[in-house]
């Protein structure tokens, strides 16, 4: 019996996932459904799983390790099939091939989910994955495996450019963003980061978002760490968009697990204004054009040389970022591609098969093992909960101490951040104080110069007053002399007039003429 669904009437989907609000749900289900105007009916709320959501949705989408609750998963599948509703299983990582040094492999976090996930892959009406290598890996288990890439949700991300107009220094920040599961990848590139740090001791800063920096770096003053503050993707986007770096790095160890991952870091770095250096492995080698919109590094030497080139050349960083953002805008925006996801649902669902399993015998074995392992895991959990032996108690205490250490590190990081801000303010205040002191000293110098000028003027005025007194004295003496001469002159004039008017003057006149002529004759 072939079940069909009129896609035009597809208005809602029942969504079962343990990833409430994180990147997995926002990137692959909730974000695309929002763009499409499709109602998402959550089958999991606050950790509680509701079977009733199956009946409320037009299709049922099960994501990743929700299958660890095997008894509830079986009920969801049974109800969906009984109501003639197609079941889609979505997975974005090759969890069956976790490397030996992967933190989730070491902790066993996904162990109880592996067989149930394989059961879900085999019996799902449609399996959706993020990359072609992951599809190729799963095709032997189910022929209906399709790729739905992880796109950049441009309703959340805003494109940023490189702006150095406000920079007061020549420091270049190298940033890395990722969760604790990327510890092996970060350790792989650590030798290159140490070389770069030695090469540029006063010009480089490292900023880590999420994952704790390696021990060799965490104690350095030029290393900043922002521990994860929330598992919600929206919170992460808001936080990351308010932070920045000059260069982003995307190291990945070369293994089949990483080869099946999506290049989401390239998209997020690009949107946030970070040109990047990435490992020359899938998925980055499928999206990055080496030397055009990023660098692809294969060796430690490559990492050092490529980071050096970006550190030294601002124009190269700008060129890489412009090209990366052009690529993202042209090919990787969710707003331009969400419809492909629901067209894929339509094309696949309209020809849905009635659980035509390739190997029923294998499926039955997987299903039986899933149930048995689920029961055994529950028994182990019950024993661990009720009968903890001393070693387990020690482990619990150790975990408690580890958690306390982590909290203390967070507090120390917060205090360090506050101390840095205080130091910046003190430095600013000191600079302002020095400037104020310089201004005060300048004013004092100007006052001293003014006082010197005033004293000089006063001395000059004093000299002028003395000179005026001398001049006045001389003027008085001259006036006295003039008055005396004037008196003498007047007396002389009177005497002459009296003489001229006298008779003796008149009688002696002829004799004066004769005497004058005689003098003229003897000259």
- List pLDDT tens digits, range 247-302: 999 999 999 999 999 999 999 999 999 999 999 999 999 999 999 999 999 999 99
Model confidence pLDDT, tens digit, residues 394-450:
555 666 665 666 566 666 666 666 666 766 677 777 677 777 778 878 877 888 887
Sign of the Cα torsion 431, 436, 437, 438 reads positive
pLDDT at site 3 = 41
pLDDT at site 351 = 62
Could you give the CA distance from residue 174 to residue 193 in angstroms, rounded to a whole number? Answer: 9
Tens-binned pLDDT, residue by residue, of the chain (523 aa): 334 444 466 789 999 999 888 899 999 999 999 999 999 999 999 889 999 999 999 999 999 999 999 999 999 999 999 998 899 999 999 999 999 988 888 888 898 899 999 999 999 999 999 999 999 999 999 999 999 999 999 999 999 988 765 566 789 999 999 988 899 999 999 999 999 999 998 899 999 999 999 988 888 888 999 888 888 999 999 999 998 899 999 999 999 999 999 999 999 999 999 999 999 999 999 999 999 999 999 999 999 999 999 999 999 999 999 999 999 999 999 999 999 888 877 776 666 554 467 677 777 777 777 667 667 767 776 777 666 555 455 555 666 665 666 566 666 666 666 666 766 677 777 677 777 778 878 877 888 887 888 788 888 877 887 888 887 788 888 778 888 887 887 777 777 777 666 666 566 667 777 777 777 777 6
Which residues are CB-contacts of 266 (< 8 A; sequence separation ≥ 6)?
250, 276, 278, 284, 287, 288, 294, 324
Could you give the CA distance from residue 488 to residue 172 in angstroms, rounded to a whole number? Answer: 104
Could you give the CA distance from residue 206 to residue 222 in angstroms, rounded to a whole number? Answer: 6
Could you give the CA distance from residue 407 to residue 397 in angstroms, rounded to a whole number? Answer: 15
pLDDT at site 414 = 65
Angle at alpha carbon of residue 493, lines to 491 and 496, rounded to 5°: 110
Q: How far apart are the first and last CA of the chain?
A: 173
Token pair for 363: 């499926």
Query: Count of residues for the chain?
Result: 523
CB of 334 closer than 8 Å to CB of 328: no
Find the Cα–Cα–Cα–Cα dihedral 416, 419, 420, 425, rounded to 10°: 170
Could you give the CA distance from residue 253 to residue 280 in angstroms, rounded to a whole number? Answer: 10
Which residues are CB-contacts of 450 (< 8 A; sequence separation ≥ 6)?
none
pLDDT at site 416 = 65
CB of 155 closer than 8 Å to CB of 97: no
Could you give the CA distance from residue 37 to residue 24 in angstroms, rounded to a whole number? Answer: 19
Which residues are CB-contacts of 80 (< 8 A; sequence separation ≥ 6)?
54, 60, 86, 87
pLDDT at site 406 = 57
Task: State pTM to two decimals.
Answer: 0.71
Q: What is the DSSP string of 260-309?
A: TS--HHHHHHHHTT--EEEESSTTHHHH--BTTTBEEE-SHHHHHHHHHH
| SS3 (DSSP) at 403 | helix
Burial class (CB in 10 A: 0-12, 13-18, 19+), 170: exposed
Closest of 65, 25, 35, 43 to residue 233, by C-alpha = 25
pLDDT at site 13 = 92
Which residues are CB-contacts of 91 (< 8 A; sequence separation ≥ 6)?
63, 64, 117, 121, 127, 128, 129, 134, 138
Could you give the CA distance from residue 87 to residue 71 in angstroms, rounded to a whole number? Answer: 17
pLDDT at site 504 = 65
pLDDT at site 1 = 35
| SS3 (DSSP) at 126 | strand
Cβ neighbour number for residue 508 with a 10 Å cutoff:
10
Which neighbouring-strand residues pair with 178? 210
Could you give the CA distance from residue 197 to residue 201 in angstroms, rounded to a whole number? Answer: 5
Could you give the CA distance from residue 145 to residue 135 in angstroms, rounded to a whole number? Answer: 6
């Amino acid at each position: 019996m072939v079940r069909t669904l009129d896609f035009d009437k597809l208005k809602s989907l029942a969504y079962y996932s343990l990833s409430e609000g994180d990147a997995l749900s926002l990137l692959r289900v909730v974000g695309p459904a929002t763009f499409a105007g499709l109602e998402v009916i959550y089958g999991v709320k606050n950790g509680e799983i509701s079977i009733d959501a199956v009946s409320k949705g037009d299709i049922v989408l099960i994501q990743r390790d929700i299958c660890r609750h095997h008894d509830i998963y079986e009920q969801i599948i049974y109800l969906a099939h009984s109501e003639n509703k197609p079941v889609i299983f979505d997975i974005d990582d090759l969890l069956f091939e976790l490397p030996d040094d992967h933190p989730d492999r070491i902790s066993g976090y996904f162990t109880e989910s592996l067989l149930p996930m394989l059961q879900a892959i085999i019996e799902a009406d449609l399996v959706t994955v993020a990359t072609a290598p992951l599809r190729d890996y799963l095709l032997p288990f189910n022929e209906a495996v399709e790729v739905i890439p992880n796109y950049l949700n441009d309703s959340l991300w805003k494109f940023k450019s490189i702006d150095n107009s406000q920079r007061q220094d020549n420091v270049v920040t190298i940033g890395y963003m990722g969760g604790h599961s990327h510890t092996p990848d970060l350790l792989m590139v650590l030798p290159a980061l140490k070389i770069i740090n030695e090469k540029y001791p006063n010009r480089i800063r490292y900023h880590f978002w999420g994952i704790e920096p390696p021990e060799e770096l965490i104690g350095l003053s030029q290393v900043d760490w922002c521990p994860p503050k929330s598992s919600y993707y929206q919170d992460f986007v808001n936080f990351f968009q308010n932070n920045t770096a000059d260069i982003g790095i995307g190291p990945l160890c070369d293994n089949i697990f990483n080869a099946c991952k999506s290049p989401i870091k390239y998209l997020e770095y690009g949107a946030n204004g970070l040109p990047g250096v990435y490992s020359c492995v899938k998925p980055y080698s499928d999206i990055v054009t080496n030397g055009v919109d990023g660098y692809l590094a294969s060796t430690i030497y490559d990492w050092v040389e490529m980071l050096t080139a970006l550190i030294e050349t601002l124009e190269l960083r700008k060129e890489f970022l412009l090209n990366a953002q052009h690529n993202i805008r042209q090919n990787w925006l969710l707003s331009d591609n969400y419809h492909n996801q629901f067209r894929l649902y339509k094309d696949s669902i309209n020809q849905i098969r009635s659980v035509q399993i390739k190997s029923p015998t294998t499926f039955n074995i997987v299903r039986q093992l899933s149930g048995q392992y689920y029961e055994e895991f529950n028994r182990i959990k019950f024993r661990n909960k009720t009968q903890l032996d001393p070693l387990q108690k020690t482990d619990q205490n150790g975990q408690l101490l580890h958690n306390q250490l982590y909290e203390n590190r967070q507090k120390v990081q917060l205090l360090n951040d506050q101390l840095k801000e205080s130091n910046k303010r003190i430095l600013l205040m000191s600079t302002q104080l020095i400037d104020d002191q310089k201004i005060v000293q300048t004013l004092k110098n100007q006052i001293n110069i003014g006082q010197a000028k005033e004293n000089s003027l006063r001395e000059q005025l004093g000299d002028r007053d003395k000179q005026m007194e001398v001049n006045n004295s001389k003027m008085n003496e001259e006036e006295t002399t003039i008055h005396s001469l004037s008196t003498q002159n007047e007396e002389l004039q009177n005497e002459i007039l009296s003489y001229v008017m006298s008779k003796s003057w008149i009688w002696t006149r002829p004799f004066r003429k004769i005497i004058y002529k005689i003098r003229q004759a003897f000259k």
